[in-house]
Amino acid sequence: MASNNYNAKSPSAREFINHDEIMSTLAWARENKNNSELINQILQKASEKKGLGHREAALLLLSGNTDEIFALAREIKREFYGERVVLFAPLYLSNYCVNGCVYCPFNAGNSTMPRRKLTQEEIRREVIALQDMGHKRLALETGEHPEQSPIEYVLESIKTIYSINHKNGAIRRVNVNIAATSVEDYRKLKDAGIGTYLLFQETYHEEAYNKIHPSGPKSDYAYHTEAMDRAMQGGVDDVGLGVLFGLADYAYEFTAMLMHAEHLEAAFGVGPHTLSVPRIRKAQGVEAANFTHGIDDETFARIVACLRISAPYTGIIVSTRESEDCRKKVLDVGVSQISGGSRTSVGGYDVGDNGNCPDTKQFEVNDHRSLDEIVQWLISIGHIPSFCTACYREGRVGDRFMKLCKTGQIQNCCHPNALLTLQEYLLDYSSARTRTAGEELITREILKVPSEKTRGIVLENLEKIKQGSRDFRI
């Protein structure tokens, strides 16, 4: 149902995220939002668990069928991800920035934001603090600044991070969230062994985009929107899309993000590895309430549920921008990865947010709990906390990962790997209470590993972990 110059395969941002196609999709969805026959057909198709196109997804999002949507999202989440929830933390390297993003306190015009960039020695201290919490997976964050944080600085930092083995700790997967860059730089990131390359579109609505990105390289909408194509051309296997909800109409963003995923699938044969759903938060000099497209928790959960239904094989990430209550709700209907114990300041893990350092926080988090509290909480509400990084280290990335997902095979490794990495966490980092709850969980869950042979290997490896060995994976 193409309109105007919409072309999912095109390399041009304005063709694969085509404004007219989005507007006509939304008009059609609004017209049909009470058409129960059509909605039932779409729900029927969705129940085959092979995903939906952006038009069908937009109609579900705008329809009134809340109970059915949430029930189906829950079912898909359970089938593809079980109860596992993967944990990670952001690590801010530098907040120098040449861009003018009005929602972000790191923007170049904010003269009251203290600027800081970590030295390699400071990165070591941050990483040791993160390892001491139990983290194995990081998302690197920097502002965009050709002099302060050129690609060489990011590459050196990745090397430093991977080189630190402190006690039983090691960061096993470094995901990278840095500004849009060239194919050549993406190739360097790939060679440095990054996990996922994350880049949030912020908003897909070009007019809104131009208004809130008044200056700096990020103000080039097409260059930013086409970044994932360059990343894939540079050999990056896993890319993560995201929208900063609150900047423009949520239904527009939702439809466009799915079109972006369809584009990557059409052009490169593999969709995004993850979808992130950050919402704007209060920050130094930034009032979230000034952004008129804010959404309530109910709508937010509905977006997550519709993403889960539309892209069953794609991870969905939610950060500490969300409260405990909200995270509980969205974990239930689709989220597969969450951050925990996060600091959004440069150097925040080593000194803590209330240390002597000037306050360089990017935004106020909404979930202040420690990683241990989050692990304990996840267990208490029926989830399996996972520190697994196996897929990427076993080369199960990009289209290989997607193929395994689509055939359900990923289940045979993810569940046992979650139990093995949780066991490491319990022995090395957890409180006594979390350990008791975690050990009980492992004892129960081990019985659910279907293959007797795999169960035997897992039991053997759990024993070896108790004897002091580490880093087993299926």
Catalog residues that contact ligand SAM under the rule CB under 6 A.
Answer: 103-104, 141, 143-144, 177-179, 199-200, 202, 244, 278, 280-281, 283, 286, 321, 362-363
**401 lines the binding site for ligand SF4 (CB under 6 A):** no
Among 18, 32, 63, 107, binds ligand SF4 (CB under 6 A): 107
Residues 6 or more apart from 342 whose CB is under 8 A from it?
89, 90, 319, 320, 365
94 binds ligand SF4 (CB under 6 A): no
Euclidean distance between CA atoms 106 and 66, whole angstroms? 38
134 versus 242: smaller Cβ distance to ligand SF4: 242
User: Do residues 474 and 390 lie in contact, with contact meaning Cβ atoms separated by under 8 Å?
Assistant: yes
Return the H-helix or E-strand segment holding 139: strand 137-142
For the CB of residue 177, give the shortest distance to ligand SAM in the complex, in Å: 5
The reply to whether 143 sits near ligand SF4 by the rule CB under 6 A is: yes
Stretch that binds ligand SF4, among 9-17, 99-107, 277-285, 353-361 (CB under 6 A): 99-107
Helix axes 297-310, 54-62, angle to 10 degrees: 150
Determine, following the binding rule CB under 6 A, whether residue 280 of this chain makes contact with ligand SF4: no
CA–CA distance, 57 with 63 (Å, rounded to integer): 10
Task: Give the residues across from 316 on adjacent strands.
Answer: 275
Q: Taking CB within 5 to 8 Å according to partner kind, which of ligand SF4, ligand SAM, none is near residue 107?
A: ligand SF4
Judged by CB under 6 A, the chain residues 207 through 266 that form the site for ligand SF4 are 218
- By C-beta, is 286 or 449 nearer to ligand SAM? 286
Closer of 139 and 465 to ligand SAM (Cβ): 139
Closer to ligand SF4 by CB, 138 or 390: give it: 138
Interaxial angle between packed helices 432-446 and 410-428, expressed in degrees from 0 to 180 and rounded to the nearest 10: 150
Q: Least separation, in Å, of the C-beta of 243 and ligand SAM?
A: 8
Looking at residue 88, the DSSP 8-state letter turns out to be: E
Alpha-carbon distance of 159 to 379, in angstroms, equals 33
Question: What's the min distance (Å) between Cβ of 393 and ligand SF4?
Answer: 29
Question: Minimum distance from CB of 442 to ligand SF4 (Å)?
Answer: 40
Q: How far is the CB of 74 from ligand SAM (least distance, A)?
A: 27
Interacting partner of 280 out of ligand SF4, ligand SAM, none (Cβ under 5 to 8 A depending on kind): ligand SAM
Q: What is the CA radius of gyration of the chain?
A: 21
Region from 97-105, 276-284, 323-331, 340-348 binding ligand SF4, contact rule CB under 6 A: 97-105
Residues 73/306, Cβ–Cβ less than 8 Å: yes
Please give the structure tokens belonging to residue 116: 């800081």
**Nearest to 91, CA basis, from 151, 146, 160, 150:** 160
Q: For residues 82 and 143, which CB has a smaller minimum distance to ligand SF4 in the complex?
A: 143
Q: Which residue is nearest to ligand SAM (CB)?
A: 104
For the bound state, the minimum distance from the C-beta of residue 202 to ligand SAM, rounded and expressed in Å, comes to: 5
Which residue in 194, 191, 108 sits closest to 147, CA to CA?
Answer: 108
Note whether 9 and 16 are within 8 A (CB): yes
The answer to whether 251 touches 61, Cβ cutoff 8 Å, is: yes
Least distance from ligand SAM to the Cβ atom of residue 344, Å: 8
What would the DSSP string read from start to end of 375-413?
HHHHHHTT-EEE---HHHHTT--HHHHHHHHHTTTHHHH
Q: Whole-angstrom Cα distance, residue 73 to residue 83?
A: 13
Contact status: 335 vs ligand SF4 (CB under 6 A)? no
- Which stretch in 10-18, 32-40, 102-110, 263-271 sits in contact with ligand SF4 by CB under 6 A? 102-110
Q: Tell me which residues touch ligand SF4 (CB under 6 A).
A: 97, 99, 101, 104, 106-107, 143-144, 179, 218
